[in-house]
């Protein structure tokens, strides 16, 4: 198919068509499909399933790029790789979307009824649920799409039921009337971590509660005065002498005809306010617990929508906030209001709709998490699971220590309906995987299933094994579980990651993943969270369209430094687009010269006999390969990206390609063949090394390489070859690059036109260096447009030259015209100042006895070398200054 000749490489990389073309080919050829070859290692990742309602945002882009980098790398390393894709049914979010859709038709879900509504959600999912999956494909993700799962699909639902029933029978799931976080808008309970606390400016109301015998009053403070209607007690500290006498008297609750008791509880802080606390067990978590301890009545005063109920007496029917206003007015009017203060405090909001959450008692299902959490903690402690970066360990432990039972029931329709049935006749509760047909106790056929559904996180907690077929003992499960690594954002460490650990350890007796890599949150360039309302969102889809997918992926990888938020800026993305284009052009140039190159020959590169440029680039390539492996193993993605960037642009392009041009364009067939061979070898290695980060441009280039096979995706990833390490070549190359830098500097400073030919001289006292320079003089001349280069061990500097000092080598270029003596002297003086400073510093160290006796020998030798060099350079500078002054 690739009959194209190298000449057909366009002048600039056109990503759009290339991306479409190769993704389609990869999919058609099933190169993403997992294979279970027992001879090879497995490497598996389960995707953090995006919400089915989701649209790809920059966080997804980061998360999935990193996963794809690892998957592609491991695939090329010969592993059986599996990346399981899928989406989450996202209970509340999805229900909201469909309800909004219904609202446009002036309908509510109640108009449809439960079954029809759920039908409607599935229909929505059918039509719109594939959006984010297609966007992941656009991003180049090499997921095994044949194994795409959905948390509500049949297999996963079965896993959910199995887990629920087993936990129930083990006594780890229970149903009870407890205080929960209630969203009055979503009409559902929320788990603790679905509540977001936000600091708000509020008021602290101080209310006088009269003693029942009329002998006085106590002042209590509250931020929610309407809850006083549900007060069933006042609590004070047991050791608080101020209130000891109230034990027998009681409190007459304002605006009501009730008398409530005073209880004594250690929870009360004596120093806060007056040391008296109003207790509303039905609408406050602490109060609830105080109430339990003292057997106080639980009096609910609001309904599920946050509207006051009959228990609120005359206030019934008022919204909770309207009621607050009225209560305050009434208290004021009747003289019960002591004072109102401004008060900043945290208010809990529903994480979905941001409605203020109302703590309230309600009949809910809970998981006893303590025994499960202990297993997860143990796995992290003993290293069966490694969290990266490690700094999260402590946060993880702290959270797990304080974990409370997990409220798993939600009063919505979209989700896994709880597999529990109650007998309408005898009230017997049955929890079963398969719906029972009659009551196990009284044989009645009148059974009602629990109407609540499970928290979405309940099903995603099973994701690493439910997607592999559990509870069936599938081949996949045996082969790919535990998965290799989980890559996700730290903000769902507790929502999701911890719960996967608990469930995996409990049900499979094995960790769900060996490594957890937590990446940062992507923020805007000012460090603000991206949000649609502030308009600071960088849309990855727009970025891909404008800069190309590879540029986006490279940016994400380069930014993925551990332990820090990412501030994304468009300028950086643009920079990486330039890099992708640079690669393209380097390949374009290379392919103009290596089309005749026989790949069979190039497999066995023997650098030992080759010219310096080749030995040098191969040695540098080797170091780069080593760093790529090491950094990926340590999840240092940014280091991988920068090592490749540095090598490709600043070593391969800037130096190597320029260096070998003379051979490629020259007459010497031997030299030319050698250059072609190495150029091919390095270019091939580069496209392979880059492929995990930038899959599209590399695949495209690959297909222009001689002898290429069908896809780069399954080529073997480069390994370091110790035979290519060449210290001598690296030293020589550094020397030559330094001298070239010197000559170029003179050219630039003296404003010699780049095309003008010059002559150059060098005085180099070190015999080894001198020999190297003489050997490689042609290279230096070629790269600096110098007609001649004369290297001497010593000698006098002719008049009328500009000079430059590199290490112990003095380089000078005779100038035809006059040089600007003043300018030259100024430049030298500046240089001299710097050197003197450095020399003084080094001298100081070397005259310090303690340094000499304590520092390791190699450091001392290094300092001595430095001092020699500084001294020599200073001498030369002084000589030059004198010479210039004579000239003036």
- Of residues 390-429, which lie at the interface with RNA (CB under 7 A)? 391, 394-395, 398-399, 402
Among 131, 422, 449, 638, binds RNA (CB under 7 A): 638
Residues 193-212 contacting RNA, CB under 7 A? 193, 197, 204
Would you say 350 and 186 are in contact if contact means Cβ atoms under 8 Å apart? yes
Q: Give the x-and-dash track for 329-358 against RNA (CB under 7 A).
A: ----------------xx------------
Shortest distance, position 504 Cβ to RNA, whole Å: 23
Query: What is residue 740's three-state secondary structure?
Result: helix
Residues 723-782 contacting RNA, CB under 7 A? 740-741, 744-745, 747-749, 751, 753-755
Mapping DSSP onto H, E and C, the string for 798-834 reads CCCEEEEEECCEEEEEECCCCCCHHHHHHHHHHHHHH
- Encoded tokens for 715: 């080529």
Shortest distance, position 887 Cβ to RNA, whole Å: 23
Residues 484-523 contacting RNA, CB under 7 A? 491
User: What phi, psi does 305 have (nearest 5°)?
Assistant: -105, 10
The closest alpha carbon to 519, from 553, 488, 491, 497, belongs to 488
In the complex with RNA, the residue whose CB is nearer, 149 or 320, is: 320
Count of residues in contact with RNA, rule CB under 7 A: 97
Segment (H or E) for 746:
helix 727-749
User: What phi, psi does 196 have (nearest 5°)?
Assistant: -105, 125
In the complex with RNA, the residue whose CB is nearer, 52 or 277, is: 277
Shortest distance, position 855 Cβ to RNA, whole Å: 4
CA distance 829 to 525: 41
Our finding on whether 856 is near RNA (CB under 7 A) is: yes
In the complex with RNA, the residue whose CB is nearer, 635 or 702, is: 635
Residues 7-46 contacting RNA, CB under 7 A? 11-13
Our finding on whether 599 is near RNA (CB under 7 A) is: no
Shortest distance, position 41 Cβ to RNA, whole Å: 25
Among 145, 869, 874, 883, binds RNA (CB under 7 A): 869
Residues 649-708 contacting RNA, CB under 7 A? 649-650, 653-654, 657-658, 661
Q: Collect all residues with Cβ–Cβ distance below 8 Å to 415 and sequence separation of at least 6.
A: 89, 91, 152, 453, 454, 455, 456
CA distance 391 to 856: 33
Shortest distance, position 17 Cβ to RNA, whole Å: 13
Shortest distance, position 279 Cβ to RNA, whole Å: 9
Our finding on whether 286 is near RNA (CB under 7 A) is: yes
In the complex with RNA, the residue whose CB is nearer, 165 or 839, is: 839
Q: Collect all residues with Cβ–Cβ distance below 8 Å to 105 and sequence separation of at least 6.
A: none
Among 74, 109, 120, 278, binds RNA (CB under 7 A): 278
Mapping DSSP onto H, E and C, the string for 477-507 reads HHHHCCEEEEEEEHHHHHHHHHHHHHHHHHH
Among 66, 98, 586, 611, binds RNA (CB under 7 A): 586
- Encoded tokens for 847: 């005259």
Tell whether omega for the bond before 172 is within 30 degrees of 0, i.e. cis: no
Q: Collect all residues with Cβ–Cβ distance below 8 Å to 18 and sequence separation of at least 6.
A: 696, 697, 699, 700
Half-sphere exposure of 293 (CA within 13 A, CB side): 15
- Encoded tokens for 142: 């090499």
- Encoded tokens for 845: 């160290």
Among 292, 353, 859, 861, binds RNA (CB under 7 A): 859
Among the listed ranges 113-121, 143-151, 281-289, 792-800, the one in contact with RNA (CB under 7 A) is: 281-289
Segment (H or E) for 91:
helix 91-103
Among the listed ranges 87-95, 167-175, 453-461, 633-641, the one in contact with RNA (CB under 7 A) is: 633-641
Mode of pairing for the β-strands spanning 86-87 and 149-150: parallel
CA distance 162 to 806: 74
Residues 222-261 contacting RNA, CB under 7 A? 222-224
Q: Bridge partners of 176? A: 364
In the complex with RNA, the residue whose CB is nearer, 152 or 263, is: 263
The closest alpha carbon to 48, from 143, 163, 126, 160, belongs to 143
Residues 517-576 contacting RNA, CB under 7 A? 525-527, 559, 561-567, 569, 571-572, 575
Shortest distance, position 530 Cβ to RNA, whole Å: 13
Shortest distance, position 272 Cβ to RNA, whole Å: 3
CA distance 168 to 174: 7
In the complex with RNA, the residue whose CB is nearer, 98 or 277, is: 277
Our finding on whether 100 is near RNA (CB under 7 A) is: no
* Degrees to nearest 5, angle at CA 266 with 264 and 270: 85
Shortest distance, position 4 Cβ to RNA, whole Å: 16
CA distance 494 to 193: 8
In the complex with RNA, the residue whose CB is nearer, 161 or 519, is: 519
Rg (the chain; Cα; Å): 37
Among the listed ranges 276-284, 411-419, 441-449, 767-775, the one in contact with RNA (CB under 7 A) is: 276-284
Among the listed ranges 418-426, 469-477, 508-516, 850-858, the one in contact with RNA (CB under 7 A) is: 850-858
Mode of pairing for the β-strands spanning 42-46 and 80-84: parallel
Among 307, 311, 855, 881, binds RNA (CB under 7 A): 855
Among 645, 702, 717, 761, binds RNA (CB under 7 A): 645
In the complex with RNA, the residue whose CB is nearer, 71 or 679, is: 679
Our finding on whether 72 is near RNA (CB under 7 A) is: no
Among the listed ranges 56-64, 441-449, 469-477, 581-589, the one in contact with RNA (CB under 7 A) is: 581-589
Residues 139-168 contacting RNA, CB under 7 A? none
In the complex with RNA, the residue whose CB is nearer, 468 or 597, is: 597
Would you say 106 and 728 are in contact if contact means Cβ atoms under 8 Å apart? no
Q: Bridge partners of 566? A: 522
- Encoded tokens for 729: 């070549």
- Encoded tokens for 623: 């170091």
Shortest distance, position 366 Cβ to RNA, whole Å: 16
Shortest distance, position 335 Cβ to RNA, whole Å: 20
CA distance 652 to 733: 13
The closest alpha carbon to 151, from 454, 593, 387, belongs to 454
Shortest distance, position 83 Cβ to RNA, whole Å: 26
């Amino acid at each position: 198919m690739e009959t194209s000749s190298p000449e057909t490489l366009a002048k600039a990389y056109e990503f759009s068509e290339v991306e479409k073309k190769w993704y389609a080919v990869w999919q058609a050829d099933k190169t993403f499909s997992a294979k279970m070859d027992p001879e090879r290692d497995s490497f598996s990742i389960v995707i953090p399933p995006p919400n089915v309602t989701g649209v790809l945002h920059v966080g997804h882009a980061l998360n999935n790029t990193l996963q794809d980098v690892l998957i592609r790398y491991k695939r090329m390393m010969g592993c059986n790789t599996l990346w399981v894709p899928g989406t989450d049914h996202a209970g509340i979010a999805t229900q909201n979307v469909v309800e909004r859709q219904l609202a446009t038709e002036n309908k509510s879900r109640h108009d449809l009824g439960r079954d029809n509504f759920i039908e409607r959600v599935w229909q929505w999912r059918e039509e719109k649920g594939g959006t984010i999956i297609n966007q992941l494909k656009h991003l180049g993700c090499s997921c095994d799409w044949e194994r795409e799962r959905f948390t509500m699909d049949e297999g996963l639902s079965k896993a959910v039921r199995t887990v629920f029933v087993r936990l129930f029978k083990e006594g780890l799931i229970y149903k009870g009337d407890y205080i929960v976080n209630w969203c009055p808008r979503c009409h559902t309970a929320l788990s603790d971590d679905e509540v977001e606390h936000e600091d708000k400016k509020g008021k602290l109301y101080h209310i006088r509660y009269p003693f029942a015998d009329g002998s006085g009053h106590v002042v209590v403070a509250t931020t929610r005065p309407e809850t006083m209607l549900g007060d069933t007690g006042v609590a004070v500290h047991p050791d608080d002498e101020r209130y000891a006498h109230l034990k027998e008297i009681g409190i007459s609750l304002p605006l009501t005809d009730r008398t409530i008791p005073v209880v004594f509880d250690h929870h009360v802080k004596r120093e806060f306010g007056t040391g008296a606390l109003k207790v509303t067990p039905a609408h406050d978590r602490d109060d609830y617990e105080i109430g339990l301890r003292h057997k106080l009545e639980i009096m609910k005063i609001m309904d599920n929508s946050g509207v006051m109920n009959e228990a609120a007496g005359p206030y019934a029917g008022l919204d909770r906030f309207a009621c607050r206003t009225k209560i305050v007015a009434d208290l004021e009017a009747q003289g019960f209001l002591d004072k109102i203060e401004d008060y900043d405090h945290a208010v809990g909001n529903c994480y979905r709709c941001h409605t203020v959450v109302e703590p309230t008692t309600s009949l809910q299902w809970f998981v006893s998490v303590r025994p499960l959490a202990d297993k997860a903690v143990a796995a992290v402690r003993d290293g069966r699971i490694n969290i990266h970066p490690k700094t999260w360990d402590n946060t993880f432990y702290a959270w797990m220590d304080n974990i409370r039972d997990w409220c798993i029931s939600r009063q919505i329709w979209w989700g896994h309906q709880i597999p529990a049935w109650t007998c309408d006749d005898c009230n017997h509760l049955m929890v079963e995987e398969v719906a029972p047909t009659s009551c196990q106790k009284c044989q009645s056929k009148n059974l009602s299933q629990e109407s609540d559904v499970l928290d979405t996180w309940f099903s995603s907690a099973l994701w690493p094994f439910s997607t592999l077929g559990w509870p069936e003992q599938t081949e996949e499960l045996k082969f790919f579980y535990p998965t290799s690594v989980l890559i996700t954002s730290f903000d769902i460490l507790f929502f999701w990651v911890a719960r996967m650990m608990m469930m995996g350890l409990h049900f499979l007796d094995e960790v769900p993943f060996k490594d957890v890599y937590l990446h940062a949150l992507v923020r805007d360039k000012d460090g603000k969270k991206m949000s649609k309302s502030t308009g600071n969102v960088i849309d990855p889809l727009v970025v891909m369209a404008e800069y190309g997918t590879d540029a986006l992926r490279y940016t994400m990888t380069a930014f993925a430094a551990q332990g820090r938020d990412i501030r994304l800026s468009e300028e950086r993305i643009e920079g990486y687009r330039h890099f992708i284009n640079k690669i393209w052009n380097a390949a374009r140039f290379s392919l103009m010269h290596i089309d005749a190159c026989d790949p069979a020959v190039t497999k066995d590169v023997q650098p030992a006999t080759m010219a310096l440029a080749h030995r040098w680039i191969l040695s540098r390539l080797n170091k780069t390969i080593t760093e790529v492996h090491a950094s990926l193993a340590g999840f240092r993605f940014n280091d991988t990206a920068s090592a490749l960037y540095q090598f490709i642009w600043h070593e391969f392009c800037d130096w190597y390609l320029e260096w070998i041009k003379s051979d490629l364009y020259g007459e010497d067939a031997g030299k030319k063949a050698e250059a072609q061979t190495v150029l091919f070898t390095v270019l091939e290695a580069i496209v392979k090394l880059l492929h995990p980060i930038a899959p599209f441009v590399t695949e495209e280039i690959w297909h222009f390489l001689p002898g290429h096979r069908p896809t780069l995706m399954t080529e073997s990833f480069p390994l370091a070859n110790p035979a290519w390490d060449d210290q001598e070549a690296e030293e020589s190359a550094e020397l030559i690059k330094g001298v070239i830098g010197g000559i170029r500097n003179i050219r630039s400073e003296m404003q010699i036109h780049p095309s003008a030919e010059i002559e150059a001289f060098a005085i180099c006292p070190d015999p080894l260096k001198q020999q190297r320079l003489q050997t490689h003089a042609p290279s230096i001349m070629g790269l600096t447009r110098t007609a001649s280069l004369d290297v001497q061990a010593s000698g006098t500097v002719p008049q009328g030259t500009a000079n430059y000092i590199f290490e112990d080598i003095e380089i000078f270029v005779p100038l035809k015209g006059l040089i600007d003596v003043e300018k030259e002297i100024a430049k030298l003086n500046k240089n001299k100042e710097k050197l003197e400073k450095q020399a003084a510093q080094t001298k100081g160290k070397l005259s310090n006895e303690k340094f000499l006796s304590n520092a390791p020998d190699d450091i001392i030798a290094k300092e001595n070398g430095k001092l020699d060099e500084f001294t020599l350079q200073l001498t030369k500078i002084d000589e030059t200054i004198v010479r210039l002054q004579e000239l003036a």
